[in-house]
Amino acid sequence: MKVGLIYTSTTPELIQTVEDEVKKQLGSDVEMYSLEDASILADVRNAGYVTAAPAARLIGMYMKAVEEGVDAMLNLCSSVGEVADCAQDAARYLGVPIVRVDEEMCREAVRKGTKIAVMATLPTTLEPTKNTVLRVAREMGKKVELIDALVEGAFGLDQEQFKEKMSAKAAEVVDEADVILFAQGSMAYCEEYIAEKYNKLVLSSPRFGAAALKEALIAKGTIAR
């Protein structure tokens, strides 16, 4: 079994977390084929939204993974999650599911609360994640209230500085939120730290994405439940 991991930007923490979670779900023998194009996220950040050129490059990465024989793929950037959505018809035709890393996390947030604080270090990730939460809430027949928690100046910091920034922003929203949702997979290593410090439910995407990837492979018939 071979799965594609589609990144637009990576950190060592993100790669390690994603690969660990995929192995937990699919076993240590799973073959992982990784693709990364950091220019996609850079272009999205510069424009403030997903323009045609980076979207086309991302779709090209999906097609490359299909050519390399993956059974399913995990889209690991929430900023471009809506590109993954638009590619789903092609994925179904090709028989290679494209799984968004963040969708099942968003569903869990809606299951667990009505006031959801969405934490991100980039505005270009904050807005698509909020859109996904609102969409899944509609699908689930629930009304939710979203609380913006943009952690300005945190992108690219080392772990300790990043944790400090995350903690300071979490302190601003923790009393009004039922759930804190991390919009970026690269934040995942802070999940336990923030949850324990503020005694609040915190959700990050890699573990949910890996579980959703497994479900897609079960639905395809590649593996048994």
pLDDT digits (tens, 9 = 90+) for 139-162: 999 999 999 999 988 777 778 888
Q: Sketch the domain layout of the chain as residue ranges.
A: 2-101+207-220, 103-204
Give yes or no for residue 65 having a pLDDT over 90. yes
**What pLDDT digit, counting tens, does each position of 184-195 carry?**
988 898 999 999
CATH architecture of 2-101+207-220: 3-Layer(aba) Sandwich (3.40)
- The helix (run of H) or strand (run of E) holding residue 30 is none
CB 165 within 8 A of CB 154: yes
Output the average pLDDT for the chain.
Answer: 94
**What pLDDT digit, counting tens, does each position of 162-187 carry?**
889 899 999 999 999 999 999 998 88
The pTM score is 0.91
The 3-class secondary structure across 54-71, one letter per residue, is: HHHHHHHHHHHHHHCCCC
- Fold match between 2-101+207-220 and 103-204? yes
Give yes or no for residue 106 having a pLDDT over 80. yes
Taking alpha carbons only, the member of 198, 220, 156, 185 closest to residue 22 is 185
Third-level CATH fold of 103-204: Rossmann fold (3.40.50)
CB 5 within 8 A of CB 73: yes
Give yes or no for residue 113 having a pLDDT over 90. yes
CB 209 within 8 A of CB 185: yes
Average pLDDT of 44-49? 92
